[in-house]
């Protein structure tokens, strides 16, 4: 059945009451497979429950209050965001337990933080005294006592205090009257660089070893550590409360992507998202799609290049310009106007580039949902 969809699509427009096939939407558009996404949500929730770990999904992957609600319904304890802009959207959407796993720096952001802190219970992270001082100002301005986790560098070398400096920073937070020391947090994103599955496991075990050891040292200093937050899509399966970990924060698992496949951390049938593309030009073995780097981003991979075309392994996306995705086709044929689906190399970045996603079941579109925190990465 075909139905008319207003163009341009508005993220907040009510959904048509009927199902539609994809010819009713303009490309490029992002599709989310309902059966795959709900299975992904359930699988991680089951793992966390069985393991006795709290689940706090990182919602930067989907940026959608709709998807986050599904995660909470499946058992997640709260959510994690990266940016104050995301926290604002989710707090306004009724989410009342939010960890901002990113250092909040600068007067303007700290002022916004004070406002969000009135709407939701926020947990903040620090890896330096300067950041602690900023949070103290927010606490003073808002009259709230803010929960703070000390972020630990367990090998990614992006943010986080070096393990040997953590105890001093913990003491600094504990000393603060306006802050409440909540525990430790880390992100072992370097698991993506592991050379083999054993390498991913080793990164996770090191993450657990460092955090578990720090927890013991802090408790030996008679300081309580209510939360020890670690674990991504790649490393969560290797963590347990026996390590001293209390919480995991996987993000990508809800949709997965070809990076996750390439890191031995999901199977192909667990990929929930694709970009619907239209073939706009064909010349011999050159096939050009309307998905350029404004849709797919420049992220690429030695195996899948700029994204894999679903069900068409003979088509390789070799290069992108802004609105063109240029592929070579080793056999078979395609025609101008044909629609193909491109699987993401890194799905999280796609969600900052489109205002909405279409939920599909089989070949039909059943719902359109807003990416609530679209362009809120500030």
- b/e string for 318-342 if b means 16 or more Cβ within 10 A? eebeeeebbbebeeeebeeeebbbb
User: Measured from the CB of residue 262, what is the shortest distance to ligand PLP in angstroms?
Assistant: 13
User: Measured from the CB of residue 229, what is the shortest distance to ligand PLP in angstroms?
Assistant: 8
User: Measured from the CB of residue 130, what is the shortest distance to ligand PLP in angstroms?
Assistant: 19
- Is 58 a binding residue for ligand PLP by CB under 6 A? The answer is yes
Strands 247-248 and 54-55 come out as: parallel
Which tokens belong to 312? 């068409």
Q: Which of 163-171, 219-227, 251-259, 269-277 is the region at the interface with ligand PLP (rule: CB under 6 A)?
A: 251-259
Strands 20-21 and 364-370 come out as: antiparallel
User: Measured from the CB of residue 10, what is the shortest distance to ligand PLP in angstroms?
Assistant: 29
**Of 343, 346, 334, 267, whose CA–CA distance to 310 is shortest?**
343
Please tell me what DSSP assigns to residue 9: -
Q: At what angle do helices 163-175 and 129-142 cross, to 10 degrees?
A: 20
Report the half-sphere exposure of 116 (CA within 13 A, side-chain side): 30
Q: Which residue, chain included where needed, has tokens 């090191």?
A: 206
CB closer to ligand PLP out of 44 and 327: 44
One residue of 112, 249, 341, 346 binding ligand PLP per CB under 6 A: 249
* Positions 93 through 122 that interact with ligand PLP (CB under 6 A): 101
CA–CA separation, 356 vs 375, rounded Å?
Answer: 12
Q: Which of 26-34, 232-240, 308-316, 325-333 is the region at the interface with ligand PLP (rule: CB under 6 A)?
A: 232-240
- Is 251 a binding residue for ligand PLP by CB under 6 A? The answer is yes
CB closer to ligand PLP out of 235 and 300: 235
Site string for ligand PLP, 8-47 (x = CB under 6 A): ----------------------------------------
Binding positions for ligand PLP, rule: CB under 6 A: 58, 61, 101, 187, 189, 232-234, 249-253
């Amino acid at each position: 059945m075909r139905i008319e969809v207003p163009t341009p699509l508005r993220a907040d427009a009510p959904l048509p009451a009927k199902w539609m096939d994809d010819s009713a939407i303009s490309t490029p558009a992002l599709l989310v497979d309902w059966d795959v996404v709900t299975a992904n949500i359930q699988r991680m929730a089951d793992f966390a429950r069985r393991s006795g770990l709290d689940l706090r999904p990182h919602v930067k992957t989907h940026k959608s209050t709709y998807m986050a609600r599904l995660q909470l319904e499946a058992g997640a304890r709260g959510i994690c965001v990266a940016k104050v802009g995301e926290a604002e959207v989710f707090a306004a959407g009724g989410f009342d337990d939010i960890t901002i796993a990113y250092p909040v720096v600068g007067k303007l952001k700290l002022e916004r933080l004070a406002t969000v802190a009135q709407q939701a219970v926020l947990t903040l992270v620090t890896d330096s005294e300067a950041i602690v001082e900023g949070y103290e100002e927010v606490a003073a301005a808002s009259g709230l006592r803010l929960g703070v986790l000390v972020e630990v560098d367990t090998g990614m070398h992006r943010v986080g205090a070096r393990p040997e400096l953590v105890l001093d920073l913990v003491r600094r937070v504990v000393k603060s009257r306006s802050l409440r020391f909540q525990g430790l947090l880390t992100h072992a994103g370097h698991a993506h660089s592991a050379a083999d599955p054993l390498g991913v496991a080793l990164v996770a075990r090191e993450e657990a070893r460092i955090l578990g050891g720090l927890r013991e040292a802090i408790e030996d200093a008679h300081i309580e550590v209510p939360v020890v937050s670690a674990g991504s899509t790649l490393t969560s399966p290797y963590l347990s409360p026996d390590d001293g970990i209390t919480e995991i924060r996987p993000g990508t698992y809800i949709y997965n992507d070809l990076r996750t496949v390439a890191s031995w951390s999901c199977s192909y049938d667990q990929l929930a998202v694709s970009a619907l593309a239209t073939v706009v030009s064909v010349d011999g073995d050159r096939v050009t799609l309307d998905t350029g780097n404004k849709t797919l981003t420049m992220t690429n991979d030695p195996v899948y290049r700029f994204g894999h075309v679903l069900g068409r392994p003979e088509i390789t996306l070799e290069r992108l310009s802004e609105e063109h995705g240029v592929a070579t086709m080793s056999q078979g044929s395609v025609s101008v106007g044909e629609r193909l689906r491109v699987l993401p190399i890194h799905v999280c970045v796609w969600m900052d580039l489109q205002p909405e996603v279409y939920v599909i079941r089989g070949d039909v579109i059943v719902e359109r949902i807003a990416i609530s925190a679209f362009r809120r990465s500030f």
